[in-house]
Structure 1
Amino acid sequence: MTGSQDMRCKACDGSGLLMDDEEWRYTCSICNGDGFVSKYEAAENDIVDTDITNRTLE
């Protein structure tokens, strides 16, 4: 595999979609809907701190 298909996206488990608590599906923001991330993209997407309701903290 090459390019953006180096590693399966852990956020969406390779499906390219995420689901919220009301079961709405939307494009994965980590892999941009590809289902895979390259080792270079993985380095760009550092883990972000979140609070208990998954809001990002700055």
Structure 2
Amino acid sequence: MGSQEHRCKACEGSGLLMDDEEWHYTCTVCGGDGYVSDYESREENRISNVDENNRILD
């Protein structure tokens, strides 16, 4: 890990997020890496494609 990379706070470095039904998803903050760089380009707010349970679809 470089000095400009930080462990992702959303997934706590695992690269996965879990909902209340224990479904696992790739972290949308770090892209599944587990780390976020200070120099990564931050995406503008984008509308995600979701199902009826508000789970992100790719």
On whether the aligned pair clears a TM of 0.5, the verdict is yes
TM-score category, normalised to shorter length:
0.5 to 0.7
Equivalent residue pairs, number: 44
Report the TM-score, using the length of structure 2 for normalisation: 0.63
Identity level (%): 67
Runs of 4 or more above 2 Å deviation: 43-46
Q: By percentage of residues, which structure has more strand? A: 2
TM-score (norm 1): 0.63
Unaligned runs of 5+ in 1: 47-58
Instruction: Identify unmatched segments of 5+ residues in structure 2.
Output: 45-58
Partner of 1:38: 37
